[in-house]
Structure 1
Amino acid sequence: MDLRHTLRDNRGFLLFLLSFALLRTAVADWNPIPSGSMRPTLLEGDVVLVNRLAYDLKLPLTDVVLLHLGEPQRGDVVTFSSPAGGTRLIKRIVGLPGDRIAMRDDVVVLNGRPLAYRDAQTRGEAIAPGWVVDAVRQTETLDGRDHAVQLLPGLPARRNVAETTVPAGHYFVLGDNRDNSEDSRFIGTVPRERLIGRAHRVLVSADWLGEDGWRMAPRFGRWVSTVR
């Protein structure tokens, strides 16, 4: 009896919670960035707004696609469930179904043509508290869209990939921090049904990496900024 009264007295709040949960699982979500695999585009401490309706309408809490709403494009930054374990990851789509993808010394080769790179600059990059390495940042052009990528030449990494053809219904994804990213070079191509949505904006951001390994300093300049 008490439980029924409690549910009746709080039904408005419970309906709000249910609607909020459905919104997050079917329409829009936010994704905290825990690692540096998408530097310099996304930083640890960014919270990214994800449009779950960018590509597909799914049955809430499942990967069951009810309706196709749009097509993933090269250059889109997407969240997805990793085909190697189900971990939620965020990477950039580089290869579409049918594309031929290879990498030679960190240069992406798309359908037999190397991508264009420019404006390379070297700077120090903190890998961990007290550990700074040289990083090369440059602009990569993919389908006429520019975005920044980062290389870490002093670290061991998988910089060469033999040419592979992206299967139908799959996507080849890479992290923008090319020498520090678990992406399609390691986990394989991503099936469309595992795509969660397209990263749209950085909602808020805070720097939680410091000399002592912890601090919380808001990065106001990144708040409500577009993910490119």
Structure 2
Amino acid sequence: MDEHQLNDPAHTTAPGSAAAPETAQPEVAEESPQKSVLRRLWDSTGYLLVPLVSVFLLLGVIFSLAWVPTGSMEPTLPTKSYFLGWRLPYFFGDPTPARGDIVMFRSEELGELLVKRVIGLGGDTITFADGDVYVNGEALEETYLPEQHITYPTGATEVFEVPEGCIFVMGDNRTGSYDSRAWLNPYIPVEQIRSRALVDIAFLPECTWKGVRLLT
């Protein structure tokens, strides 16, 4: 026997014992190229997912943010201001608003989204006398108007009987609003309501006032 092998500890064994088994090497799993790319993409952009989903839920389901392009709701909603609307009740609850609410809705007649104040509800009769609005024969108190006794019919109809499931709307700028008083179909189905205005945000130079305020 070769002397070198006798002195090599790697080749020595205790008398009567079997040779020590070789240590097994662990198998290493390798990601597929596609999974690797997706993992790197998630690691680099995944942190953006939560805020993006949150914004989508807030502005797509719970709230809406809309721009006011005209002065039909002056001075409550200044021209070129923004308002934050509450959408949730019109997705999951009774869509019927309260009288006096400011709502955003889709007008099928005009083919666009509008914002107006709810004056009449289903079953109401709306009339006008001496510049005031009457609901079912009683004068409507409108403290939100900049002036009193300035509301008159703007079309051929002077008496409006609101069908069930619909609303009758007007702008707060009564002398500068194209609304239910003049439309061919003056009644808006409640299913067309998209949100109720909660907060007005005005900051552009064209706004008649600037700031943030709650809408009641």
Do these two structures clear the TM 0.5 threshold for a shared fold by scoring above it? yes
Match of 2:166? 170
CA distance in 1, matches of 2:193, 2:49: 29
Decide whether the 8 Å contact of 1:104 with 1:161 is kept in 2.
no
Give a deviation string over 1:31-75, Cα, whole Å, max 9, x none. 22211001121211322121112x322xxxxxxxxx215741111
Give a deviation string over 1:152-194, Cα, whole Å, max 9, x none. x8xxx81663212111111000001112212112342111111
What amino acid sits opposite 1:102 in the alignment? T
Deviation at 1:91, TM superposition (A): 0.6
The number of residues matched between the two structures is: 178
Decide whether the 8 Å contact of 2:95 with 2:191 is kept in 1.
no
Match of 1:212? none
Decide whether the 8 Å contact of 2:155 with 2:182 is kept in 1.
no
Match of 1:198? 196
Q: Could you state the TM-score of these two structures normalised by the residue count of structure 2? A: 0.69
Q: State whether structure 2 residue 145 is matched by structure 1 residue 148.
A: yes
Structure 1 residues 182 and 19, CA gap change in structure 2 (3 angstroms): same
Tell me, which stretches of 5 or more residues in structure 1 are unaligned?
A: 58-66, 116-140, 210-216
Decide whether the 8 Å contact of 1:26 with 1:52 is kept in 2.
yes
CA distance in 2, matches of 1:149, 1:23: 33
What amino acid sits opposite 1:184 in the alignment? S
Match of 1:128? none
Match of 1:26? 61
Structure 1 residues 202 and 5, CA gap change in structure 2 (3 angstroms): same
Decide whether the 8 Å contact of 1:102 with 1:161 is kept in 2.
no
Structure 1 residues 82 and 70, CA gap change in structure 2 (3 angstroms): closer
Decide whether the 8 Å contact of 2:95 with 2:190 is kept in 1.
no
Match of 1:130? none
> Which of 49, 52, 74 is equivalent to 1:39?
74
CA distance in 1, matches of 2:106, 2:37: 37
CA distance in 2, matches of 1:3, 1:207: 48
Select the structure that is richer in strand.
Answer: 1
Match of 1:56? 90
CA distance in 2, matches of 1:74, 1:91: 12
Select the structure that is richer in helix.
Answer: 2
Decide whether the 8 Å contact of 1:204 with 1:224 is kept in 2.
yes
What amino acid sits opposite 2:215 in the alignment? V
Structure 1 residues 14 and 92, CA gap change in structure 2 (3 angstroms): same
What amino acid sits opposite 1:38 in the alignment? M
Larger radius of gyration: 2
CA distance in 1, matches of 2:107, 2:41: 38
What amino acid sits opposite 2:198 in the alignment? H
Q: Aligned to 2:47, what secondary structure does the other structure show?
A: helix
Q: Aligned to 1:161, what secondary structure does the other structure show?
A: coil
CA distance in 2, matches of 1:191, 1:106: 27
Match of 2:187? 189
Q: Could you state the TM-score of these two structures normalised by the residue count of structure 1? A: 0.66
CA distance in 1, matches of 2:190, 2:95: 11
